[in-house]
Copies of this chain bind each other. A is one copy, B any other.
Amino acid sequence: MADVAQAFVPGHVTGFFTTEPDSDPTKAGSRGCGIALSDGVTVTVQPADATSVALNGEEISMGAVERVLDALDVTAAVRGVTDLPLGSGFGVSGAMALGTALGANTAFDRRLSRNELVTIAHGAEVQAGTGLGDVVAQAQGGVTIRLEAGGPHTNVLDAIPARRRVEYHVIGGLATEEVLNGNTDTISMAGKKALSDVVEDPTLNRFMRASREFARESSLLTTRVRDVILDVNKIGGTATMAMLGKTVIALDTGLSDAGYDPQVSKVYPTGAALEPAQRQ
């Protein structure tokens, strides 16, 4: 025990979602659908006298991570390394929370099950107000359909079985907390419609179409994001907005073909996992 432990958590872009509040943060969350990305966050947890959190070498404050450490009753140095931008809809805070839970469980020999750790990370992210559905989708990987909200003890998950190249183009950030603290009725109504579309036809193409309709109907679509999506549509590609960020995601070479210089990633088919221990 008291060793260093490391976990990799895929990034996650949400196409559409509902908000499902509950007084119990492990039951609260969202329904919806999104794509786990091969770009993710490598999280290292090491016991320390005082807790500190850093992302790409820079000390930051991250409510979800601190809550996870509190729940496990440990103090640790948590270090995240990623190519993904923070606050642009890639689930970086969810990845940090989940990676911290998986890493701390091993580093401190906490002997919790995987569901318990995912529950802690999900509840921490909900309480911190930084996400509603990323953690459970990042734990499963692939293109997760969240049929019922909450942590592993209450949610119902399915997935679109597909591998595909995914490109993304980041325009800027959106504050998840602000959107989630506003009136979310319109969002949830649009999210329910999109979810029923994808359940009827669980394919990536339908996911992209349902996500575009959701972005428009939820009024979350910004003008600049819309313009980029239209550029991709013009050359016959398919693109949508990553929730919640001013980010455009496209399948295949949609953004490249439209003349952008996107980041290139792909569907990461599997979920968050500990990295192999050097010795155990």
Bitwise interface map of A from 236 to 280 toward B, beta carbon under 8 Å scored 1, else 0:
000000000000000010000000000000100111011111001
Q: Does A188 contact B (CB under 8 A)?
A: no
Q: Which residue of B lies closest to A201 (CB)?
A: B111
Q: Contact between B113 and A202 (Cβ–Cβ < 8 Å)?
A: yes
A111 adjacent to B270 (CB under 8 Å): no
Q: Would you call A117 an interface residue if the criterion is a C-beta within 8 Å of the partner chain's C-beta atoms?
A: yes
A7 CB → nearest B CB, Å: 9
| Residues on the B chain within 8 Å of A159, using CB | 113-115
Interface size class of A (residues with CB under 8 A): 35 or more
Q: Report which of B152, B161, B162, B269 forms a contact with A270, defined as CB distance below 8 A.
A: B269
Q: For chain A, residues 115 to 145, give those with C-beta under 8 angstroms from any C-beta of chain B.
A: 115, 117, 141-142, 145
A85-120 CB contacts (< 8 Å) to partner B: 102, 105-106, 111-115, 117
Tell me the minimal C-beta distance from A3 to chain B in angstroms: 13
Enumerate chain B residues within 8 angstroms of A273, measured Cβ to Cβ: 142, 163, 269-270
- Distance of A105 Cα from B202 Cα, bound (Å): 11
Which B residues are in CB contact (< 8 Å) with A164? 277, 280
Say how far A201's CB is from chain B's closest CB, in angstroms.
Answer: 6
Q: Are A113 and B145 in contact (CB under 8 A)?
A: yes
Q: CB within 8 Å of B: which of A148-168?
A: 152, 158-164
Complex-state Cα separation, A24 to B158, whole angstroms: 21
Shortest A276–chain B CB gap in Å is: 5
A128 → B minimal CB distance (Å): 22
Provide the bound-state CA to CA distance between A112 and B164, in Å: 17
Is A186 at the interface (CB under 8 A from chain B)?
no
- The answer to whether the Cβ of A56 comes within 8 Å of any Cβ in the partner chain is no
Tell me if A203 counts as interface (CB < 8 A to partner B): yes
Say yes or no: B269 contacts A161, CB within 8 Å: no
CB distance A112 to B202 under 8 Å?
yes
Lowest 5 CB-CB distances: which A-B pairs, in order?
A270-B270, A269-B273, A114-B159, A113-B202, A115-B158
With A102-B161, A105-B161 already in contact, 14 other A-B pairs whose C-beta atoms are closer than 8 Å: A106-B161, A106-B162, A111-B202, A113-B145, A113-B159, A113-B160, A114-B161, A115-B159, A117-B161, A141-B271, A163-B275, A164-B277, A269-B273, A270-B273
Some 24 contacts from A to B, beta carbons below 8 A apart, are: A102-B161, A106-B162, A111-B202, A111-B203, A112-B202, A113-B161, A113-B199, A114-B142, A114-B158, A114-B159, A114-B161, A114-B202, A115-B158, A117-B161, A141-B270, A163-B275, A163-B276, A163-B277, A164-B277, A164-B280, A269-B273, A269-B274, A270-B270, A270-B271
